[in-house]
Structure 1
Amino acid sequence: MSFLSPRFENGLLSRLSVEDVALLGPLERVELAPHNALEVANRSVESIYFIERGFASVVADDADGGIIEVGLIGPEGMTGLAVVHGVDQTPFSTVVQGGGTAVRVDPEYLRAALADSPSLHQLFMRYAQAFAVQVASTASANGRLLLEQRVARWLLMVGDRLGESFQITHEFLSVMLAVRRAGVTRALQDLEARGLIRTMRGVVAIIDRAGLAEFTNGAYGLAEKEYANLLGPESEAEVVEAKEPKHYRKVNY
């Protein structure tokens, strides 16, 4: 009988059998601080991160030397999808935005595991598909939505990963959405006036999730449904008593 690994807080690792987890080699739990670069554009992927708490932004450079967010990764996913696709680098960077923890894996172990385990390969390819839908949805939202709707979608996505209340600055959100700070301020004020969120001292609280999702005019939910459809619920196989295995150690990043 195949057992689940000791309970990870990452949605992908928690779906793997003990045998598949063992194929990933030595695992390190690392602390992730805001602004840490997990991947650098056009450089070889040095480590794979399965985020357990916090979130990271996948960002692209724009023509004016700024950046724009094209994807979010939180406890549901992983970095290093280039490796899953059989290459060793990507034109995008991945940067920690909400600090937390992650399980770090060496890319060479991941490559070997993908080759050795059909079940692990299938799971990670399904996540890659779900993430591709998220990126496409973001591109669609950037092209057709009002700024207020884009902000609403972003808040929902971050809320999925951090909870219904989290710290955020107007400046940071303006950078991620590649818009003026004043526009973000007006958008947040509009959402608050509609009774969808509450803001106070750099904290945003979602108080009407259903209303906020409806306000996005369908832009929120497609990628989330794709993730649920492709990966399904976490396995109901018997769980090994949660304790850190010998190949699992905690380090600072």
Structure 2
Amino acid sequence: MTPDLSGTHNPNQNHLLAALLDAEFDRLAPQLELITMPLGEVLYESGGKQRHVYFPTTAIVSLHYVLENGGSSEIAGVGNEGMLGISLFMGGNSTPSRAVVQTGGHGYRLGSALLMDEFKRTGPVLRLLLRYTQALITQMAQTAACNRHHSLSQQLCRWLLFTLDRLPGNELTITHDLIASTLGVRREGVSEAASHLQTQGFIRYRRGHITVVDRAGLEGRVCECYGVVKKELARLLCDVRQR
């Protein structure tokens, strides 16, 4: 069905869809399907066939690499700035990561074949998606470096700020267990780091909810990884038009 551009849910809430030229958007819009993306839903598994690509609007999806022993950690996050399914047009058709909804909300999905048809036109969609892919690769590389070289407190600040960038408010509905799984660390470490941030007045935590009360404080404490990824995304997409 054709999306209702005047309603509560709008494809233009996703920055990539909003950046499309009118001709490309008009071809894809009738095929975009509004979907609910509940917390914990797995959009695709490692090695699985990807029948759709996803454009989150109010949801946030975490890309996890899962080890043989069942452990996992986030290698990237995708919210309203991007899309899931880049392996389709990069020639791989599948990915070793798992995509799981970290923050419940909504988004749009599009059949993989439809996106590939548009990609093969070698026009504005191709250029836009390749630049987004470069930004996503930067996020993955910076996440790996951050997890290796920076403290858990800095990693938590980075993760909180990236999550806030994709949400309209300053409150996150999430547990310490889920944050620990995302960062690939022990729950006790997350609880200790969060307690320190709360003592310093940066956040307020109650069971299942984190409220950021001093964003500037988090930005002053976070490592350079947050700024590197944010600047790269802005640089690569700075000249695209927002509808």
- TM-score, reference length from structure 1: 0.87
Say if 2:196 is the partner of 1:228. Answer: no
Secondary structure, in 3 states, of the residue corresponding to 2:139?
Answer: helix
Output aligned runs, 1:154-169, within 5 Å. Answer: 154-162=159-167, 163-169=169-175
**Whole-Å separation in 1 of the counterparts to 2:68 and 2:197:** 30
Paired residue for 2:50, among 45, 50, 59?
45
Correspondence for 2:85 among 77, 80, 83:
80
Structure 1's unaligned 5+ residue stretches are 240-253
Q: Does 1:206 align with 2:215?
A: no
The separation in 1 between residues aligned to 2:111 and 2:27, in whole angstroms, is 11
For residues 114 and 187 of structure 1, what CA distance do their matches in structure 2 show? Answer: 44
**Aligned with residue 60 of structure 1, among 58, 65, 85:** 65
Greater percentage in helix: 2
- Name the CA distance, whole Å, in 1 between partners of 2:170 and 2:139: 20
Shift of 1:87: 2.5
Aligned counterpart, 1:16: 20
Classify the secondary structure of the residue corresponding to 1:235. Answer: coil
Q: Which amino acid aligns with 2:38?
A: A
Pair 1:179 & 2:191 matched: no
What SS does structure 2 have at the residue aligned with 1:80?
coil
User: 1:77, 1:127 within 8 Å by CA — same for their partners in 2?
Assistant: yes
Q: Displacement of 1:85 after TM fit?
A: 1.1
Aligned partners of 2:89 and 2:217: how far apart in 1?
A: 37
Q: Taking every aligned residue pair, what percent have the same amino acid on both sides?
A: 33
User: What is the distance in 2 between the residues matched to 1:52 and 1:234?
Assistant: 18
Offset of residue 59 of structure 1: 0.3
Question: What letter corresponds to residue 31 of structure 2 in structure 1?
Answer: P
Q: Which amino acid aligns with 2:17?
A: L
1:214 deviates by 2.2
- After the TM superposition, list the runs of 4 or more consecutive aligned residues in structure 1 that deviate by more than 3 angstroms: 22-25
* Equivalent position of 1:246 in the other structure: none
Question: Is 1:219–2:233 an aligned residue pair?
Answer: no
RMSD: 1.7
